Amino acid sequence: MKTALLIIDVQQGLCEGEHAAFESQQVINRINQVAAKARAAGAVVIFIQHESTSGYLEFASDDWQLADGLHVEPTDLRLRKTTVDSFHRTELEQTLKRHGVTDLVVCGMHTEFCVDTTVRRALALGYPVVLVADAHTSEGNAHLSATQVIQHHNATLTNISSFGHRVRAASTEALHFGA
């Protein structure tokens, strides 16, 4: 079993300002803990960055950069995407195959968009997924608080059974990499 950690959209523009995701800094701290565990176990660490062609999250803009406080090592991989699905029109699936990855651990931003869509696509492609239950976040919306969005997705994603493989939720503390 070879695992990859997908760190989705933990970017400056999603962590600061008026539309900052809920508890961004605490989530970044937990992601750093998860990434350290992944690296120690020899897992592939992939930072995925959303981008637009102009305006908010425009490639190479300050908002597009990985968030302040996020620890990145030279051996970590980086991937750019333009949709909520980290697999759609990207090299993610080929990268996972090239590294012999069979299992995924997922964390990041925003829960109800890019995290949700990427987890569902990973299941459809046959990857078992561990969702780091306390290391994904959202801004929330007019109907649900960020906490409600996070709790809803922890419950919903772990109850999907139609793909065969299931999503398992684990806290940062309880998460272990390796066979």
pLDDT for res 19:
81
| Strands (DSSP E) found in 30-176 | 44-50, 77-81, 103-109, 129-137, 167-170
pLDDT for res 128:
96
**CB distance 157 to 117 below 8 Å:** no
pLDDT for res 179:
52
Q: Enumerate the domain spans of the chain.
A: 3-170
Residue 102, classified by CB atoms within 10 Å of its CB into exposed (0-12), middle (13-18) or buried (19+), is: middle
Kindly report the CATH class assigned to 3-170.
Answer: alpha beta
114 is catalytic: yes
Structure tokens at 44: 């592939």
Q: What is the mean pLDDT of each run of 10 residues along the chain (179 residues)?
A: 95 91 97 98 97 88 96 98 97 98 97 97 97 97 93 95 92 89
If one counts every other C-beta atom within 10 angstroms of the C-beta of residue 5, the result is 27
pLDDT for res 178:
73
Which residues, including other chains, have CB under 8 Å from residue 161's CB and lie 6 or more apart? none
Q: Which of 105, 114, 122, 169 is an active site residue?
A: 114
